[in-house]
Structure 1
Amino acid sequence: MDEVEIPTPSDDEVLVRVRARSVNAGDWHLMRGTPFLVRLVYGGYRNPKFPVLGVDIAGHVDAVGKNVAGLKPGDEVVADLSENGFGAFAEYVCVPETIIVTKPAGVSFEAAAAAPTAGVAALQALRDSGQLQAGERVLINGASGGVGTFAVQIAKFLGATVTAVCSTGKMEIVRSIGADHVIDYTQEDFTESANQYDLILDAAGSHSMREYARVLHPTGRYVFVGGPTRRFVTALLAGPVLSVLGRKRFQTFMLKPDRDDLAFVIELLDAGDVEPVIDRRFGLPEVPEAIRYLEAGRATGKVVVT
């Protein structure tokens, strides 16, 4: 923890007093500089590129730049800072007006802060990469994590039949957010099942590409969202080859921060169609503990810092 000057917004920025922010896997990858590719692309080769980490924020506008017309002090807002210098793990941050979404009064700061990365990733992975259609069968591997809990609910909203894969202790939570079928991976290997799926959303990376292919419909799609680095590399390199060799499609998902998509997810929260699962809440001085907790893989849903 350090005391720093409150930043001053530029002409096209607003100063946000952050009321809540959530922790993502990207935060500890940037903090540790692992895998090494993170250093080259995002984090800085020898030293951290961004002095304050964190990307998901919800708070209220404290001051506005002279060119800002659509916001005023006191407005409650949500934003993803991943392409705008990070900085969520602070009390104040300057944010371009162009990436901000207004927070509805009926959505809490904590719920809103859980949505920018995990919620938008789930939406884009299902709708865009996975091309999910109403009536299709989707399997979500890693359904109890941050992206997974959003994906279960968004897939149901899109009209799919959802099979969720998680551990024993998290089955009831996953059922409570709408999963039609829940598989305990400690008791059953879904890749050995006779069931087939139109879409597999993989947020765990627990099986090989060949194993996933066994339970894909002949024209099914597989989307890798998260998991061990070696699984990511395999999906990135082997996916296009497997897609060319057959009718099944294998993709590696990369989040594209999008204001309209964030606004859509926030609308789902406001309507009650999606409710973020928040595992634990930490105070701002406890950010190191919050990151360690997420990195250990114990979290169900999101970890929020207030």
Structure 2
Amino acid sequence: MRKHQLYKVLFFLLIIVLIDRSLGLMVSKLALKYKFDRRIELLINNQIDKDILVLGSSKALNGIDPQIIENKTGKSCYNLSYSGSNIEFHETILDLIILSKNHPSTLIYCIDDPGSLIKFDGIVVYRKEELYPFVYNNEINNIVSQKLDKSILASKISSVYHQNVNLVTAIKYLLRGKEVPDYEINNVDNYGANIMIGHQAKHENMKFVNRKFVYDTKYENDEYRNAFTRILAKCKGNNINVKLIITPSFVSSTIGFRDRISELSKDTLLVYDYSNQFTNNELFYNYEHLNKNGATKFTSLIADELNL
């Protein structure tokens, strides 16, 4: 190949690289601008430095108010729970906590009865879409690539490929502007919590549901169970004190579930079972979630435990 032809090829490749990098950067910035809940960004940028962190699904997100814990204990607190998230996603959030420069002294880990160990497809899931806008972070990019069976090598070579999960979000930003937070899902406050007022529509006259479900390990999901034991091991290895909390519901607890959680923790941790602590519908937003009245009362009980 003649020298001037080689120059043309190199110039063409340079243009391709510049276009790829420019498009990838644009998609990344637009996706970040669209995102309302940016707690993960705070976490990976070492901007969450708290004594106590709360981890779990929507029950923890809606039911634990860190401001009350701060007021009652004098210790700083932040909520890193996500609606509809499964235990494998909780482990990912814990991994990001451990990778950050700031480790909490205490982790309030909220257990869902029985959703923490039993798989409910479409209801409790790995919330990978929460990670998408932050794939510029190598650790998160590796996690997302594995979950989507994407080539990590290709994501490092091509910026457009790297950011392809964010293309739809970028387009949404161009068409609609910033994401409007969902009142029930991600309307997080400055403490990372999403505390709701009143009742969900058609739940104003709820009656306590007394069921007789018995926990059966044959329905347990192996990956979920393993994730639970890893969470406890990682906390122990990083000197993070764990408070295992079974959150309140307006439905009777599963018989034997608390004992199973104690068994998996090898009886080394206390399991604080608040599953049927409240039977007043004025404290519940719906059958599974507390409203502001309930969250205030529930969080106060947890704060009292932390003060012991």
Same fold (TM over 0.5): no
Tell which structure's C-alpha radius of gyration is larger.
Answer: 2
TM-score (norm 1): 0.27
In proportion to residue count, which structure has more strand?
1
TM-score (norm 2): 0.27
In proportion to residue count, which structure has more helix?
2
